[in-house]
Structure 1
Amino acid sequence: MGRNLTTVGFDADDTLWHNERFFRLTQDRFAGLLADHAAPEHLAERLLAAERKNIGHYGYGVKGFVLSMIETAIEVTEDRVPAAVIRELIEAGQDMLAHPIELLPHAQQAVEAVADSHRVILVTKGDLIDQERKLAQSGLGDLFDGVEIVSEKTDAVYRTVFERHGDGADRAMMVGNSMRSDVVPAIQAGGWGVYVPHGLVWEIEHAEPPTHAPKYHELADLGGLADLVQDLG
């Protein structure tokens, strides 16, 4: 009889390596630059609204974030934002795109352990070039049987990905720090969803945990993943 679980998908940002904290640091820098024009809380609300609106235009990632900061700066200054501020926001984005990758605790060991017995797939969203750079710098690239960089993570996307790289979503698991993108749609597709909280979560990625779903699991960190996979597989 075949195994119940044959394929494990991993999210990338804030599951395998740090990401959100660099956005938070840049947003603090943004607040300092616009301190004479808007209180930090108000500026954060305006920026979040711009990001929500612009996801459909720019997708996820640093480039869309920078464009949303520039748009917000123009709006809160009523078209009077100094060119020097725009330049500094662009430079902040370039710094983010060049930042070295820092793996999260247990990330490499978890992927290596699971890859010994199951297919492992990286399923991430964001800017193609930036995600490829981060994967290359992570040192984890050779461990994955497939890599999917998608514009959005939905149940339909997971069905397609796990059909392409595995035995279908019902025999697949998705591991990640985003309830909205990694866990809920994977379970809706028929697979397992494993939530590994990171601590810093972008507001747009919040969702209610599907605690009553039989295929929902939560781990304190990736150190417990290999045992869970073996138990289910």
Structure 2
Amino acid sequence: MKLKTIGFDADDTLWQNETFFRITQDRFAELLADYTEKAHLMDRLLAAEKRNIGHYGFGIKGFMLSMIETAIDVTDRRVPASVIAEILAAGQEMLSHPIHLLPHAQRAVEALADTHRIVLITKGDLLDQERKLAQSGLGDLFHGVEIVSDKTPAVYARAFARHGAGAESAMMVGNSMKSDVVPAIAAGAFGTYVPHGLTWELEHAEAPSDHPRFHEITDLSQLPGLVDRLGA
């Protein structure tokens, strides 16, 4: 079946995201340097994020709350109010940070928008993702936008049915093996992995290297060529 729909992840596929989380984590470690070592703090923060995904979902707001929880935990509830204020300020700064498109993102989206239905499928906080899409300058190129709480095979099946002819004639493109590639392939679509230098630990998964619908490209400049080879 010919490819008809191309789904794009947003964060760290089209624009920078994890970089700002790492900068904030460094700032967080500095604030709590008198209480614990950075490595231990990062382990506790990751554990808190993992526990809290079901409560807060993905995104900056949940990250802020997990930092506050971790700060309370590692200080035995003695964290100064000034530190909490700094954590909130760091999160608010993340929520207002300008968008930086990744290399080749705009050209790839523009090229494929001329020949296919393209859909943005991203998870995270609704308001933040809408803000980033609006600032990216790419919004008018997408035929559909799906901001979801998580990415599962069922979510991909519904999205590709809503915006195309189903998963069998669709491809999902993203930097997360766990969220963008594996569940899209499970839904019946192609899954194309675009590595990013920084990936959140909870987004790691084993590559389905032997699956005929799995592909990996170095960057988005290679995507139009891959789509052409698979059949327009």
TM range (shorter): over 0.9
Name the counterpart of 1:205: 203
Structure 2 counterpart of 1:79, from 72, 77, 80: 77
Say whether 1:46 aligns with 2:44. Answer: yes
Distance in 1, Cα, partners of 2:179 & 2:169? 19
Say whether 1:216 aligns with 2:197. Answer: no
Say whether 1:63 aligns with 2:83. Answer: no
Name the counterpart of 1:192: 190
Shift of 1:232: 1.2
Name the counterpart of 1:164: 162
Shift of 1:230: 1.4
Write the letter of the residue equivalent to 1:181: S
Name the counterpart of 2:15: 17
Shift of 1:97: 0.4
1:26-72 residue CA offsets vs partner (Å, 9 max, x unmatched)? 00000000001111000000000000000000000000000000000
1:77-115 residue CA offsets vs partner (Å, 9 max, x unmatched)? 000000000000000000000000000000000000011
Distance in 2, Cα, partners of 1:167 & 1:116? 17
Shift of 1:11: 0.1
- Secondary structure in 2 matching 1:121: strand
Name the counterpart of 1:28: 26
1:122-141 residue CA offsets vs partner (Å, 9 max, x unmatched)? 00000000000000000000
- The gaps in structure 1 that reach 5 residues or longer are none
**Alignment TM-score, normalising by the size of structure 1:** 0.98
Name the counterpart of 2:5: 7
The size of the alignment, in residue pairs, is 231
Say whether 1:140 aligns with 2:138. Answer: yes
Name the counterpart of 1:176: 174
Shift of 1:121: 0.0
Write the letter of the residue equivalent to 1:160: R
Distance in 2, Cα, partners of 1:96 & 1:160? 31
Distance in 1, Cα, partners of 2:40 & 2:168? 44
Shift of 1:173: 0.2
Shift of 1:175: 0.2
Distance in 1, Cα, partners of 2:77 & 2:196? 37
- Secondary structure in 2 matching 1:213: coil
Write the letter of the residue equivalent to 2:4: T
- Secondary structure in 1 matching 2:119: strand
Write the letter of the residue equivalent to 1:163: A
- Secondary structure in 2 matching 1:56: helix
- The gaps in structure 2 that reach 5 residues or longer are none
**Alignment TM-score, normalising by the size of structure 2:** 0.99
Shift of 1:196: 0.2
Write the letter of the residue equivalent to 1:152: D
1:152-207 residue CA offsets vs partner (Å, 9 max, x unmatched)? 00011000000011100011000000000000000010110000000100000000
Say whether 1:110 aligns with 2:108. Answer: yes
Distance in 2, Cα, partners of 1:91 & 1:157? 34
- Secondary structure in 1 matching 2:33: coil
Shift of 1:231: 1.4
Distance in 1, Cα, partners of 2:104 & 2:17? 16
Aligned-pair identity in percent equals: 70
Shift of 1:4: 1.4
